[in-house]
């Protein structure tokens, strides 16, 4: 019984830490380092008949050049709304609308801009590490409660705590690796 409970706590922590790492990867995918991707527009929504709808659901988005996105709405009547949504977003770009296709030019960041982006991604990685450490703390607390209630032995507590710490260390190293790769991508001229 105690081993099953210990495994369930470890499994839950592993799933939650995996979700945190996936969140980091998806956040990094939205950060441009001179090359654009359609995912840059993922957070932007357009009011489409009273419903906030993501641009990807309203249009076909493609990369024309390394710094230009082309957005072709399925319904041309939303071109203006998409243009306004992009203009008012925090992307800092001015879309060009010809009535059928919207083109968005993302200028390559300056050296100062790249350093600023590198600091932002470091901050995001640190937030994810805090999240992973909080998951570790929750799992450890659950094990300690089970030990206190005599549902697991001291040996099981020690073994489970060690496994959770190993998992946390592995996830932290993975976060550091993802951060290192993204920093290199951003700082590369």
What CA–CA distance (Å, rounded) separates 34 from 110? Answer: 9
Q: Is there a common fold for 2-30+110-187 and 38-105?
A: no
- Per residue in 166-179, pLDDT (tens digit) is 999 999 999 999 99
Model pTM? Answer: 0.73
Domains of the chain, residue spans: 2-30+110-187, 38-105
Of residues 167 and 118, which shows the higher confidence score?
Answer: 167
CATH number of 38-105: 3.30.1360.40
What CA–CA distance (Å, rounded) separates 149 from 127? Answer: 33
Q: What is the pLDDT of residue 99?
A: 85
Question: Which among 85, 81, 59 is positioned nearest to 72, based on CA atoms?
Answer: 59
CATH number of 2-30+110-187: 1.10.132.20
Of residues 135 and 38, which shows the higher confidence score?
Answer: 135
């Amino acid at each position: 019984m105690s081993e099953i409970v210990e495994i369930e706590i470890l499994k839950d922590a592993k799933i939650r830490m995996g979700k945190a790492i996936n969140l980091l990867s998806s956040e990094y995918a939205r950060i441009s380092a001179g090359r654009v991707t359609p995912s840059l527009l993922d957070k932007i929504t357009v009011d489409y008949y009273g419903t906030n709808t993501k641009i990807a659901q309203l249009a076909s988005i493609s990369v024309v050049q390394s710094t230009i996105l082309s957005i072709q709405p399925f319904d041309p009547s939303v071109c203006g709304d998409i243009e306004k949504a992009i203009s008012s977003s925090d992307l800092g770009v001015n879309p060009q609308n010809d009535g059928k296709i919207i083109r968005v030019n993302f200028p390559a960041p300056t050296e100062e801009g790249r350093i600023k982006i590198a600091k932002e991604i470091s901050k995001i990685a640190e937030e994810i590490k805090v999240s992973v450490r909080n998951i570790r703390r929750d799992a450890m607390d659950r094990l300690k409660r089970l030990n206190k209630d005599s549902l697991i032995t001291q040996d099981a507590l020690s073994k489970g705590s060690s496994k959770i710490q190993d998992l946390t260390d592995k996830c932290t190293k993975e976060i550091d690796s993802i951060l290192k790769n993204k920093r290199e991508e951003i700082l590369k001229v």
